A and B are shown apart, each in its own frame.
Chain A
Amino acid sequence: MSRVPPVARLATLLILIVATFINLRLQLLGVMIAALAIALAADNLLPRFLKFLAFVQLPMTVMLVAVWGWVAKAPPGMPMGSDPRGGAMFALLIALRLTVLGGAFQLIMLSIPSRLLPATLRGWGLSGEGLVVALGVFAVEPELKLRAEQILVARRARGLLGGSRWAGLKQLPRLLRPLFVWSIRSAVHRAEVWEQRAMLLRVQRLPTESLPFSPVAGAVSVTLSLVWLAVAIAFRWPGLLGFR
């Protein structure tokens, strides 16, 4: 995915989103998750996807199934307690759709190499402050993670924290204050730096030519997403594509 041009990348994402919402079949969503996992693995993003599944999707799925299958015992629009299985199936459908969307977002957004990020964002029509904000969004997660690690290192270096992962986890609340303060200080200092260096103008001038985008990779990406859309339409409205 790393060489997919910006427009094809955005088109792929939009088609995937539409196809996912059209889809009502759990099996098809399962197949799509498997396909996404393969694509994510090819871009070395599978560990992040698995983390997303374990820490976000799994707890949310459990909660959704509990609410619709056990508490409401019916899908929306039906009398409460009338169809527990239907309620659970509805919850699963929502959870699987969100999983597909999460995977699609990770595949499309996180596979952008840092070198191609400004060109990709500009290819999506972002400019000026919008572009700076978007770049900041991509940069803030790794930086916050690094800062959090540095704070843990500093606490350990002063003997305030044990060496185990559990000790680190227990320190999470103590991490928040210095991280928050660091974010504010960083914003204040950088505002001055950006102004002095006319950063808004510089971001506009980031190179866009001779970058290794591949039209073929773009065509393949869009075609595969269109296939997924066609399958979704065929199962939802068989008559529309001539299927019965």
Chain B
Amino acid sequence: MSRKSTELLLAALDDKRILAIDGPNFSGRSDLLRRFCRVISDGRMYLGPEVYFALSGLTTSVRQELELHAGGSLESSDCLESAEQLKLTKLFEQHPATLSGGEQTCLAVLCAIILKPKILAIDCALEQLDSHKLQTALDLLQGATGPMGGAVITDNRLDEWNRAIQTVTIADLSPDPSRHPAIAPLDPSQIDRLDPVSAPVLELKNVTAAYARSSEVLRGVSLTLQPGRVYTLQGPNGSGKSTLAKVLSGVLRPVGGQIFVNNAASNISKTPGRIAGYHLQNPDVGLFEASVRAELGFKSGSINASAVTAVRDAFGLQDFAASNPLALPFPVRKRVSLAATIARLPPWIILDEPTLGADAATIVALAQIIQSLSRKQHGVIVISHSRKLLDILRGNELKIENGQVFAAN
């Protein structure tokens, strides 16, 4: 980034509490913010989409993490109210790594705010928040609790925000195009090359789920899911969306109730991921291999190579076959992780926040991929806070609240 870009960004931020930078993926937004924040002496702080790395790694509870940042006990600091607003107080004794993606984001944002940096740069991190927590976080950034000189934010949901924010386009900041080469867009038409599947009907009857030493996250959930349809699952952060995905994919064994596959009681936790493949919200957890080719399964003997190729091309990953997945930018890592789940062609596909870090054009293409998969008779469940994606999909809406799931329409 040239000096000019820095100066342009500083000039654009002048006297504004929050400034948003608008622009598509790979336009240089992240690069600009990262480099802008490397001037540590100026009190600039960066918070990227990998919020889990923004936590100190030195603490074993949420309370301790906040105290570490506050430099004193929570009771004697003024951040207790902010923690309450972000619904973190009930999580005080939990290990930060056990929180859901949205809860981790709340914690990371609050920790950053507590430090009162001169400028806080938030790079797509707020996309993991539900609408209520997003408003709360913006209120904190806007108010006296926020950074001293203001916050610079990149976010792919800017048009969904319920408030007017001063915005500058990335092009106005003269980013260096050589630092962010163009990356192929998604190509939904490639999904048409896949053969149709025969997905079963999934049915949950009175299913209860909990994690070790914690209270029930799902309470008596009963649900019937028909193949060839798209279901959207919505609910506040920490309401149990990912837990339901884990139960449906067989990753988490329910503590009560039964799961039926085509009307027959089934213990799907014996063969997790086979009936329903589950793409996790955090792409980095699900990337295991040294190359994209291996990650997608090309090295596995039991895969359908033409199907994997079609999925690879649908996600625009042709040029990254030999790349290490974890060395790629966040939006591409998300694509690799999505493609790796879909390439195994599980009859049911559960996608947890598939639009994280994705710009408007990518969201539209992703929606088309999901619809194409449902036309191939895959059942698809999408967990998302992206209004844009949900509006395009117009799927069967499921809402989750207080451990209960109900159909919204």
Query: Which residues of A line the B interface, CB within 8 A?
Result: 114-115, 117-118, 132, 135-136, 138-140, 142-143, 146-147, 150-151, 153-164, 174, 177-178, 181-182, 185-186, 189-190, 192-197, 199, 202-203, 205-207, 210
Shortest CB–CB separation between residue B53 and chain A, in angstroms?
4
Checking A114, A185, A202 against B71 with a beta-carbon cut-off of 8 angstroms, the contacting residue is A202
Shortest CB–CB separation between residue A180 and chain B, in angstroms?
11
Interface of A is mostly: helix
**30 pairs, CB–CB < 8 Å, chain A vs chain B:** A117-B60, A118-B64, A139-B57, A139-B58, A142-B60, A142-B97, A151-B285, A153-B246, A153-B251, A157-B246, A157-B251, A157-B272, A157-B273, A157-B341, A158-B273, A159-B272, A162-B270, A163-B270, A178-B288, A181-B326, A185-B284, A186-B53, A193-B54, A196-B37, A196-B40, A202-B68, A202-B71, A205-B71, A205-B72, A207-B72
B306 within 8 A of A: no
Shortest CB–CB separation between residue B380 and chain A, in angstroms?
15
Q: Kindly state the separation between the CA atoms of A146 and B282 in the bound complex, as whole angstroms.
A: 14
Q: Which of B70-101 contact A (CB under 8 A)?
A: 71-73, 76, 95, 97-98
Nearest A residue to B345, CB-CB: A159
Q: Mark B226-267, 1 if CB is under 8 A from A, else 0.
A: 000000000000000000001001110100000000000000
Q: Kindly state the separation between the CA atoms of A115 and B251 in the bound complex, as whole angstroms.
A: 33
Contact segment of B23-31, B42-50, B153-161, B181-189: B42-50
Q: Kindly state the separation between the CA atoms of A54 and B56 in the bound complex, as whole angstroms.
A: 33
Checking A135, A159, A186, A210 against B274 with a beta-carbon cut-off of 8 angstroms, the contacting residue is A159
Q: Are B272 and A162 neighbours in the complex by a CB distance under 8 Å? A: yes
Given A157-B278, A159-B277, A178-B287, A207–B67 Cβ distance below 8 Å? Answer: yes
Interface size class of B (residues with CB under 8 A): 35 or more
Q: Which of B379-396 contact A (CB under 8 A)?
A: none
B201 within 8 A of A: no
Chain B residues with CB under 8 A of A147:
97, 285
Chain B residues with CB under 8 A of A136:
57-58
Q: Are A114 and B61 neighbours in the complex by a CB distance under 8 Å? A: yes
Q: Are B286 and A157 neighbours in the complex by a CB distance under 8 Å? A: yes
Chain A residues with CB under 8 A of B399:
none
Checking A140, A157, A174 against B277 with a beta-carbon cut-off of 8 angstroms, the contacting residue is A157
Chain A residues with CB under 8 A of B278:
157-158
Query: 9 other contacts beyond A185-B284, A195-B40, A203-B58, with CB at 8 A cut-off?
Result: A151-B288, A154-B285, A156-B272, A159-B272, A162-B272, A178-B288, A189-B54, A190-B53, A196-B117
Q: Kindly state the separation between the CA atoms of A129 and B232 in the bound complex, as whole angstroms.
A: 48
Shortest CB–CB separation between residue B286 and chain A, in angstroms?
4
Query: Which residues of B line the A interface, CB within 8 A?
Result: 37, 40, 44-46, 50, 53-54, 56-61, 63-64, 67-69, 71-73, 76, 95, 97-98, 115, 117, 246, 249-251, 253, 269-274, 277-280, 282, 284-288, 290, 326, 340-341, 344, 346
Q: Kindly state the separation between the CA atoms of A238 and B271 in the bound complex, as whole angstroms.
A: 65
Q: Kindly state the separation between the CA atoms of A135 and B67 in the bound complex, as whole angstroms.
A: 14
Shortest CB–CB separation between residue B298 and chain A, in angstroms?
14
Chain B residues with CB under 8 A of A140:
57
Chain A residues with CB under 8 A of B95:
142-143, 146
Q: Are A143 and B57 neighbours in the complex by a CB distance under 8 Å? A: yes
Q: Kindly state the separation between the CA atoms of A192 and B44 in the bound complex, as whole angstroms.
A: 12
Checking A115, A161, A182, A205 against B64 with a beta-carbon cut-off of 8 angstroms, the contacting residue is A115
Q: Kindly state the separation between the CA atoms of A35 and B285 in the bound complex, as whole angstroms.
A: 42
Q: Are B97 and A196 neighbours in the complex by a CB distance under 8 Å? A: no
Shortest CB–CB separation between residue A127 and chain B, in angstroms?
14
Q: Kindly state the separation between the CA atoms of A42 and B235 in the bound complex, as whole angstroms.
A: 40
Nearest A residue to B245, CB-CB: A157
Q: Kindly state the separation between the CA atoms of A177 and B291 in the bound complex, as whole angstroms.
A: 13
Chain B residues with CB under 8 A of A142:
60, 95, 97
Closest 10 CB pairs of A and B: A159-B273, A189-B53, A157-B278, A156-B272, A154-B286, A205-B71, A114-B60, A207-B73, A135-B58, A146-B97
Given A196-B40, A203-B58, A210-B73, A146–B45 Cβ distance below 8 Å? Answer: no
Q: Kindly state the separation between the CA atoms of A161 and B153 in the bound complex, as whole angstroms.
A: 39
Q: Kindly state the separation between the CA atoms of A196 and B37 in the bound complex, as whole angstroms.
A: 8
Q: Are A146 and B57 neighbours in the complex by a CB distance under 8 Å? A: no
Shortest CB–CB separation between residue B215 and chain A, in angstroms?
19
Nearest A residue to B112, CB-CB: A197
Chain B residues with CB under 8 A of A117:
60, 64
Chain B residues with CB under 8 A of A207:
67, 72-73, 76
Shortest CB–CB separation between residue B70 and chain A, in angstroms?
9
Q: Kindly state the separation between the CA atoms of A156 and B253 in the bound complex, as whole angstroms.
A: 12
Q: Are A156 and B44 neighbours in the complex by a CB distance under 8 Å? A: no
Q: Are A143 and B97 neighbours in the complex by a CB distance under 8 Å? A: yes
Given A139-B58, A157-B272, A185-B53, A197–B288 Cβ distance below 8 Å? Answer: no
Nearest B residue to A178, CB-CB: B288
Q: Are B288 and A174 neighbours in the complex by a CB distance under 8 Å? A: yes
Q: Are B53 and A193 neighbours in the complex by a CB distance under 8 Å? A: yes
Nearest A residue to B270, CB-CB: A163
Q: Are B63 and A185 neighbours in the complex by a CB distance under 8 Å? A: no
